[in-house]
Chains A and B, each alone.
Chain A
Amino acid sequence: MSVTVLLFGILAVVAVASGISTVMSRNPVASAMSLVLHFFTLAGIYLTLQAQFIAAVQVLVYAGAIMVLVVFMIMLLNVGREEQMRENPGYRTIIGTALGVMLAFQVGKTAFTDVAGRHVLPPGSAVTGTTEALGETLFKMYLFPFEAVSLLLLVAVVGAVILAKRKI
């Protein structure tokens, strides 16, 4: 087993565990901290895919900007521990269990079938994920969407101010 496979395994386990802890935790701050850990492990998984740029942006945007905003909101609203939602079992439990079994079956099928003939990372993939290659594509083929996103961010900023302000 190579180092990359070992690293992927460890990161995948931590990512799933921190994801579950995000969803299950009763304390919102603990939930947010698990999500930060989750974002860092995902950045590591992007590195095993040799996508350096996306890994760096993941840490900057998600673990940096978005999570600071979320933690700020939790502190601002001072929300306490939440009680369990009212239980209403019945057909939902049955559907949920069936879908869960289907997922487990798919995961098992992927994990335990023959390894030969699987898709492996092609040799040129280290070049595809660099900032240089992505910048080349972004500013040549996707220049208009890039500019449109700047407009979207401006609209979002104005919208957030209007929504959150008491009196405009």
Chain B
Amino acid sequence: MNLQSVPLEYYLTLSAILFVIGAVGVLTRRNAIIIFMSIELMLNAVNLTLVAFSQFFGDPGGQIFVFFVMAVAAAEAAVGLAIVLALFRNKQTVYVDEVNIMKW
């Protein structure tokens, strides 16, 4: 195998692997903060796809979108962690399987 530059397919494959790792984290962990971090992993995997396509097609629009995704992720971090804090204050736990008051 003799590569001169990294092809687009490798970036997309790496992104798919990282997204799956994040999805597994969301589905298997109990700690709300680690679930939150897994969501960040998935967001970053999608960002990698967007930047790769943006660079390979020479269109800056994809990177602008990544910029907005980062802003939304920052807002999500603030609100999500405030929810975890409120949860801990009310139920003394951060484990999502112990919080089932809204489950039917």
Query: A94 — which chain B residues lie within 8 A by C-beta?
Result: none
Q: What's the dominant secondary structure at chain A's contact region?
A: helix
- Residues of B contacting A122 in the complex (Cβ-Cβ under 8 angstroms): 56, 58
Contacts of B77 in A (CB 8 A): 65-66, 69-70
List the B side residues contacting A74 at CB < 8 Å. Answer: 33
Main secondary structure of the interface of B (DSSP, over half): helix
The verdict on A73 contacting chain B, using a C-beta distance below 8 Å, is: yes
Of B11, B67, B73, B76, most buried by chain A (CB within 10 Å of CB) is: B67
Query: Which residues on B sit within 8 Å (CB–CB) of A145?
Result: 68
Contacting B3 at CB < 8 Å: which of A5, A15, A45, A54?
A5
A contacts with B, residue count (CB < 8 A):
78
What is the distance, in angstroms, from B21's C-beta to the closest C-beta of chain A? 4
Interface size classification for chain B: 35 or more
Q: Is B55's CB under 8 angstroms from A125's CB? A: yes
- Assuming the contacts A2-B5, A66-B40, A137-B61, asked whether A45 and B48 have C-beta atoms less than 8 A apart, the reply is yes
Which residues of B are at the interface with A, using a C-beta cutoff of 8 A? 1-14, 16-18, 20-22, 24-25, 28-31, 33-34, 36-38, 40-41, 44, 47-48, 51-52, 54-56, 58-61, 63-64, 66-68, 70-79, 81-86, 88-89, 94-95, 97
